[in-house]
Amino acid sequence: MNKNKHLINSERVLIEVHLGNKLSFKAIGRELGKDSTTIAKEIKNHIRYKRSGGYGRPFNDCLHRNSCSVTNVCGKSGCRRKLCQFCHSTSCTDACTDYKREICSQLSKPPYVCNGCKKRKSCTLEKRLYDASYAQNEYEVVRSESRQGIQLTEIDSIRLDSIISPLLKKGQSLHNICINHKDELMYDERTLYNYVDYGIFSAKNIDMPRKVRMSRRKPKKVYKVDKACRIGRTHNDFISFMQNHPCFPIVEMDSVEGTKGGKVLLTIHFTIPQFMLAFIRDANTSQSVIDIIDQLYLELRPDVFCDLFKVLLGDNGSEFSNPKAIEFDKQGNRRTNVFYCDPSAPFQKGAAENNHSMIRRIIPKGNTLDIYTQDDINLMMNHINSYGRNNLGDKTPYEVFASLYGEETLRKMGATLIPPDEVTLHPSLLKK
């Protein structure tokens, strides 16, 4: 059995055909001379999500779709549709208050896709498909990008940083560090120099006196956890998605740094009410973002979370480079849709960027975040969210959010309203 070679396009085509014929992973593996786990990973890693209807019926994944009698959800006068569920011009699920998402129970077990399902053509739920051409394209993109930049996990980067950075800042050379810590580092000297260039460590080239005398090199790309993260998630994809779902609320994600190598804030900004959450993290890693999303998903419960976080828009920072872990819960159920701004285009999520100016009133740029706890950050955000905005009709983001989603949701997120005369947007609020 050939377990080591990569799958080729013809093998992917055969996988698609065999899935349509309902063959098991083991049977497909025998046909291709591969292990069954290889087939399972291939399918899971390249699932294509499609929101298509069936037999003249539009996409509808509402739990009540078969018994629904709701009419005129869109509010348009002169609508001739007897039932909103049969409307092709707009999605009733975007605006209906009774909407509850349904995911086919068959997708939680092998083969995890709809390829061989008899009901596929008539089903109006979200479909998960294995498409050979789509899988091959994703594979080629990942293969191309894997040959660029570096290969380093977040755990390894933290481990190496704890050894190298303190010694570099003491004035030691990287060569000397490699000699004395050869068994601990397990990387050659040239590779570690490259990692310093990439900005992986808290120590920089400036901490190496001989290195700064050399000619300046072009900055290299920041490493990503998922090298195919932008496929289907670009800003153009975001615009197309919102045209099809104009009623979906948009939530913007961003990071606010203190001092280099120190704690970092994750900001989550709800664009319509201009309400912002902030969470302090020990490091600017993708796992720290995933942990916060998982925490919110647990505390708010899936139905409330999916209602609030239908669309997440972030930048191209490495902390957002594992979108699948954000989009899906641990059972594989979709909970949100992640998209990215274009590189060097922060104006595409200008609402969050603008709100950061209020954070900087309290924690000026360049100040460390290491001295603050999550309680301090919650206090700061309560004051910011209790500050009236002219473009909200002089209401506060807290009040607008409460009118849209309720006080109970705010309570679960740790938000409270500060009286107008007590609102403080000054460093004295968090004075230590």
* Residue 91, burial from CB neighbour count under 10 angstroms (0-12, 13-18, 19+): buried
pLDDT for position 147: 61
Model confidence band, residue 219 (pLDDT cutoffs 50, 70, 90): very low
pLDDT at 100 over 60: yes
pLDDT for position 72: 77
pLDDT for position 209: 66
Cα–Cα–Cα angle for 241, 247, 252, rounded to 5 degrees: 65
pLDDT at 87 over 90: no
What SS3 state is found at 254? Answer: strand
* Mean pLDDT value across residues 278-285: 92
Confidence (pTM): 0.62
Model confidence band, residue 12 (pLDDT cutoffs 50, 70, 90): very high
The answer to whether 229 touches 221, Cβ cutoff 8 Å, is no
pLDDT for position 207: 79
Model confidence band, residue 312 (pLDDT cutoffs 50, 70, 90): very high
φ/ψ (deg, to 5) at 138: -60, -45
Q: Which residues contact residue 216 at a Cβ distance below 8 angstroms, ignoring those fewer than 6 apart?
A: none
Model confidence band, residue 222 (pLDDT cutoffs 50, 70, 90): very low
**Average pLDDT of the chain, as a whole number:** 86
pLDDT digits (tens, 9 = 90+) for 15-30: 999 999 999 999 999 9
Residue 182, sorted as left (phi over 0), alpha (psi -120 to 50) or beta, turns out to be alpha
Find where tokens 């349904």 sit.
102
Q: What percent of the chain has pLDDT over 70?
A: 88
**Can you say whether the dihedral through the CA atoms of 304, 310, 314, 317 is positive or negative?**
positive
Q: What percent of the chain has pLDDT over 90?
A: 49
Least confident of 87-101, 308-322, 398-412: 87-101
Least confident of 39-43, 172-176, 393-397: 172-176
DSSP codes joined into one string, 124-174: -SPEEEE-HHHHHHHHHHHHHHHTSS----HHHHHHHHHHHHHHHHTT--H
pLDDT at 134 over 70: yes
* Mean pLDDT value across residues 130-142: 89
Q: What is the C-alpha to C-alpha distance for residues 271 and 391, in angstroms, rounded to an integer?
A: 12
The answer to whether 300 touches 409, Cβ cutoff 8 Å, is yes
pLDDT digits (tens, 9 = 90+) for 392-424: 999 999 999 999 999 999 999 999 999 999 999
pLDDT digits (tens, 9 = 90+) for 148-168: 556 676 678 888 989 999 998
pLDDT for position 80: 67
* Mean pLDDT value across residues 182-204: 84
Closest CA to 319 of 268, 270, 392: 268
Q: What is the C-alpha to C-alpha distance for residues 228 and 138, in angstroms, rounded to an integer?
A: 7
Q: What is the C-alpha to C-alpha distance for residues 400 and 275, in angstroms, rounded to an integer?
A: 8
pLDDT for position 128: 93
Least confident of 121-135, 174-188, 192-206, 242-256: 192-206
* Mean pLDDT value across residues 318-329: 90
**Can you say whether the dihedral through the CA atoms of 171, 172, 173, 177 is positive or negative?**
negative
pLDDT digits (tens, 9 = 90+) for 346-375: 888 888 888 899 999 999 998 999 999 999
Q: What is the C-alpha to C-alpha distance for residues 175 and 168, in angstroms, rounded to an integer?
A: 10
pLDDT for position 232: 86
The answer to whether 355 touches 267, Cβ cutoff 8 Å, is yes
pLDDT for position 310: 95
The answer to whether 76 touches 98, Cβ cutoff 8 Å, is no
pLDDT for position 74: 73
CA 258 to chain centre: 22
What are the Cα distances from residue 214, in Å, to 87, 184, 192, 208, 217? 65, 28, 17, 11, 9
What are the Cα distances from residue 233, in Å, to 226, 230, 285, 320? 13, 5, 20, 12
pLDDT at 91 over 90: no
